[in-house]
A = this chain, B = another copy of it.
Amino acid sequence: MGMVDLEEIRAEVDSALAGFFDRATLAGGIEPHSDDMIEVIEGFVLTGGKRIRPVLCALGWLAADPQPRCRAPLIGLAAGLEMFHAAILIHDDVMDRSATRRGRPTVHRVMAGLRPDRGGQDGEWYGTCAAIVLGDLALAWADKLTCGQLSAEQLGRVLPQIAQMRHEVTIGQYLDLHSAGARSADADLAEMIIRYKTAYYTVYRPLSIGAAAGNASRETTRVLHHYGMPVGKAFQLRDDLLGVFGDPLLTGKPVTDDAREGKHTALIAHALTTASSPQAVKLGQLWGKPDITESEVDTVREILTTTGTVRAVENLITDHHRAALAALETPHLPTEVAEALRTIADQAVERDR
């Protein structure tokens, strides 16, 4: 095979997703009541998103089976992961009360806007309920995309992995919710959240799902694990930093979001262990403050910088990055796939959005 073209994979996934919405709109005889809602999900799924999970899924497949006879099942499976991710984000944004995502209003905000006042329900509650249902619908559509093109044999290998991914990411979300506002220095808990929400979910599972579909050897799967876990951790740590230091124009979300929700990140856990007593008190007051201002976020930034937390987290990211690249030095991966995985690792740690 030639070079693995990451942009081409992204384009194929986007086109599979767009094609699915065409069919979903046509099917079912549920018009006209559902036209708005289908458009909202479609807009959310097709606009923006880094497509990191589908790309990794495709690479996991190609790692095991570099020349698949037909690319449609591979792309369908990858697109199913992206649809699943959309569902997770829709529910996540409700829980975090986020107003924007990818620089656009979140799904619950859009839906609230469609029914500003409706039969005794206020618009905001309608938006919340609609986003719960639309998330559930995206989950059902993920199933349709996933099982649409795989053979029975492939399904038998892939589905336990997908069920496990769904279990893990949801446990991660629960831990996230459960610990939000706890303001503790519990680094173990922060590490556990990272493992479930990102290391597994964002990187390793997509790889292993693709690998299972492609019928990977045990060695190849092990390599993907050794690569995927550190990349996932580095990805999440970069996310934590961007959540406080990022440029909202690039990340698509306000810098106050993480702070307002009091996200239990490794960043904050580290800061609390190294902060002076007055710094820890200040951080405790600000992190999780529902009406935190941008200038208060400046104070958080200052504490994170002066305690050496930012430097420590950057060092961790570098270590994970190195470990991931080392895992790629193996005969158990096609060269072109290893090359593509190296690019992904670089992007995961160096990105500004």
Interface residues of A (CB under 8 A from B): 28, 30, 33-34, 37, 88, 91, 94-95, 118-121, 126, 128-130, 132-137, 139-141, 143-144, 147-148, 151-153, 155-157, 159-160, 162-164, 166-167, 170-171, 173-175, 177-183, 189, 192, 196, 262, 288-290
Contacts and interface: CB of A to CB of B under 8 A. Distances in A.
Contacts of A139: 136, 139, 166, 170
A157 to B, nearest CB: 8
Given A129-B95, A156-B152, A163-B143, A119 B175 contact: no
A141 B28 CA distance: 27
Contacts of A189: 33
Given A130-B177, A144-B163, A156-B155, A171 B120 contact: no
A121 B34 contact: no
A70 B243 CA distance: 52
24 contacts: A28-B171, A30-B175, A30-B192, A30-B196, A33-B192, A37-B178, A91-B133, A95-B132, A120-B289, A126-B177, A130-B174, A132-B132, A132-B135, A133-B170, A135-B136, A136-B170, A137-B171, A140-B170, A143-B162, A152-B155, A152-B156, A155-B155, A155-B156, A155-B159
Contact of A175 (B33, B166, B192): B33
B167 A140 contact: yes
Nearest to A143: B163
A170 B119 CA distance: 22
A34 B173 CA distance: 11
A103 to B, nearest CB: 24
Given A143-B159, A152-B153, A174-B37, A290 B95 contact: no
A119 B183 contact: yes
